Amino acid sequence: MGRVATSNLQEGMVLAEDLRNSAGHFVLSRGTTLTARQIRMFKVWGIFSVAVEGTDDERIAREKEASRETTGRAEAFLETILPPSRRDHPAMAELHRICVERLAERMEGGFEPQILPAEEASFEEIRRCRRRDLSATSLVSGDVRLASFPDIYFKIRHLLESPRTSAVHLAEVVSKDPSLSARILRLVNSSFYGFADPIESIPRAIAIIGTKELSSLALAVSTLNVFDDVPPRYVSMRSFWEHAVACGVFARLLTPPGQTRLEERFFLAGLFHDLGRLLLYRRLPREMTCALRLSRRLRAPLHEAEQDLLGFDHALLGRELLTSWRIPSPLPDLVGFHHAPSEAGAPEGAAQLHVADILSLALQIGTSGSLFVPSLKAEAWENLGLEPEALPGLIAQGERQIEEIMNVFFGGESSS
């Protein structure tokens, strides 16, 4: 039976035999689960190694080496998407620290981040895709399939626009769509809302969370299938929505205390923030293939490559799209400025979205196709009034909610 040096002992380890001190006196019996206090006392008692169940020094050394190796690989991957030049802000330094830890944990569980090969082609070659004959407006208005939006969406939108919309009207419309109702009920009963008592019906859900919030949720859920025809070589739909949900959850958690009545708006803004990119993949596959290559060549976020090749990016396109669906203000603006929050009419909400997007990208929770983490705009961080030390708690809370919402949206399908 192997032994474990006192310096390698950890709380929770179980003694494999009775323990005696250097004078041979009985100290603890076999089967004792060690506490931190007992481990501290061992040196005082003259005990330098003990027999514990299931491990020994050699195995602990091997595990430490493996975990050092995994941490090294996690660091190497993060170096490619979040280089030191984008970590000079204290919040980004803290985020990087958390990301290394999280990624190493996931890698120990079998997750392997994809390091894309460097792009060899010259800028000139890639930039042959450059186009200046397109506009965000023409792309949106020229897409006939956007009109084939689920019927329920138009009904809800009609209700949202009517000043006389009542809870009863909304409950009637939502209840007619069983899968929508089921998803909404699961969502209002999740930790995202955190209500103590279960909510069992749509009218009850509306009474508790309000007409507006429930309409927003219904909109969100009915938008999930609109872009199902995007070729999976760009992004899987599950991965796209995971990134969107993560961004929505973090944006909501980043809501300053005085603005909690706007939380639902921020969740929705997160959910919709990269929709423009799906439209780009669908309408401009050749140009987007070039944009992805240019992004890798520049080692810069994809939206910068879109801007370079098209003269506008997915954020602006998303704003056009939401405006064309007549989604009420300020959602289209929040989406339109998530990469340039200081230019938004309402910088606070855009700042939350900007930071939430960075958190989701750095933590590798889903993807909308962009690999590189954008630079944090310092003024956006200032707007949040948050200390970097708050990030670990916020991220842990967010991760739980993201998992629950993904289960509601996708019924617990395994991650692709």
Residues binding Fe ion (CB under 5 A): 274, 357, 368
Sign of CA dihedral 42, 48, 51, 56: positive
Nearest-approach distance from CB 295 to Fe ion, in angstroms: 12
Residue type, 402: I
Smallest gap from Cβ 368 to Fe ion, in A, equals 5
Residue the block writes with tokens 């009517």: 162
Shortest approach of Fe ion to residue 250 CB, angstroms? 11
**Which positions ≥6 away from 154 have C-beta within 8 Å?**
none
Give min distance, CB of 356 to Fe ion, in A.
9
Instruction: Give Cα separations from 399 to 84, 113, 253, 290 (angstroms).
Output: 25, 18, 11, 33
* Between 174 and 246, CB nearer to Fe ion: 246
Q: In angstroms, rounded to a whole number, what is the distance separating the alpha carbons of residues 2 and 55?
A: 7
Region class of 375: left (phi > 0), else alpha (psi between -120 and 50), else beta: beta
Nearer to Fe ion by C-beta: 364 or 368? 368
Which amino acid type is present at position 127?
R
For Fe ion, give the closer residue by CB, 16 or 270. 270
* Complex with Fe ion: residue 159 or 355, whichever CB lies closer: 355
Closest distance between Fe ion and the C-beta of residue 336, in Å?
Answer: 10
Find out whether 267 and 251 touch, Cβ atoms under 8 Å: yes
In the complex, the smallest distance separating the C-beta of residue 78 from Fe ion, rounded to whole angstroms, is 18
Q: Which is nearer to Fe ion, 4 or 402 (CB)?
A: 402
Nearer to Fe ion, 213 or 274 (CB): 274
Angle at 409 between CA 406 and CA 412, to 5 degrees: 60
Which CB atom, from 19 or from 246, has the smaller least distance to Fe ion?
246
Pick between residue 146 and residue 340 the one whose CB is nearest to Fe ion: 340
Q: How far is the CB of 269 from Fe ion (least distance, A)?
A: 11
φ, ψ at 180 (rounded to 5°): -65, -45
For residue 396, give both structure tokens: 């842990």
By the 8 A CB rule, do 70 and 112 touch? no
CB of 274 to Fe ion, least distance (A): 4
Q: Residue 117 Cβ, how far from Fe ion at the closest point, in Å?
A: 23
Q: Which is nearer to Fe ion, 187 or 350 (CB)?
A: 350
With respect to Fe ion, which residue has the nearer C-beta, 304 or 357?
357
Pairs from 399-403 (Cβ < 8 Å, separation ≥ 24):
399/363, 399/365, 400/191, 401/190, 401/191, 401/192, 401/249, 401/253, 402/242, 402/245, 402/246, 402/249, 402/365
By the 8 A CB rule, do 74 and 366 touch? no
Of 307, 312, 313, nearest in space to 274 by CA: 313
Centre a 10 Å sphere on the Cβ of residue 3 and count the other Cβ atoms it contains.
16
Pairing mode of beta strands 49-50, 19-20: unpaired
- Give, for 282, the enclosing helix (H) or strand (E): helix 275-283
Q: Cβ of residue 107: shortest distance to Fe ion, in angstroms? A: 23
Q: Which of 353, 384, 176 is nearest to 252 (CA)?
A: 353
The one-letter amino acid code at 195 reads F
